[in-house]
Amino acid sequence: MTENIPDDRMQAYVQAWKLLDGDETGKLPVSVLGRIFRAFGKNPSEKEVETIIVGHDLDRVKGSVTFEEVLPLFIEVKDSSIDVKTLRKSFKMFDEEESGTISVDNLREALCKLGEPLTTDEVDYLAQLVEVKDHKIRYDEIHEIKCLVS
């Protein structure tokens, strides 16, 4: 199953795993499975993550997963895909002054409270993917979407 993953993508997955596995145990808690998928460029809802956990009989509280156990689960989770036009429209909703910019603080508040909330670490990561100047993001100048894995 995992033999279909291209070498460059596999290398990116390994690098992302190493970042998440700071204590180098080779295992991560099942409770952070959603974060693992997102670090690997997937975008499952919490409901999808819960379905995978239940479907594979993973113990959310005490359980842990290894890199090798997580890889086959990727087939069940769709890739994160959003185009630049959709991203700009989303940012524009928070542009109160219609200036082509949004405050990092306003974005952080929205992303941490609305829909499926992100953690502050996830928002900090997103802020690194776009240019921030004077504590504002110029969303009208976003021409490409960078991500941890392509």
Percent of the chain past pLDDT 90, that is, above it, reads 1
| Rg of the chain over all Cα atoms, to the nearest angstrom | 17
Domain spans, the chain: 2-76, 84-141
C-alpha 33/C-alpha 73 separation (Å) is 10
Task: Give the model confidence (pLDDT) of 6-31 as tens digits.
Answer: 888 788 788 888 888 888 999 888 88
The CATH fold of domain 84-141: Recoverin; domain 1 (1.10.238)
Q: How confident is the model at residue 78 (pLDDT cuts 50, 70, 90)?
A: low
Q: Is 84-141 the same fold as 2-76?
A: yes
H or E stretch covering 28:
strand 27-29
d(CA 79, CA 46): 15
CA dist 120 and 108 (Å) reads 7
Mean pLDDT of 78-98: 74
Whose tokens are 């842990």? That residue is 64
Position with higher pLDDT, 136 vs 90: 136
pLDDT category, 62, cuts 50, 70, 90? confident
Determine whether domain 2-76 maps to CATH 1.10.238.10.
yes
> Which residue from 115, 43, 31, 28 is spatially nearest to 77, judged by alpha carbons?
43
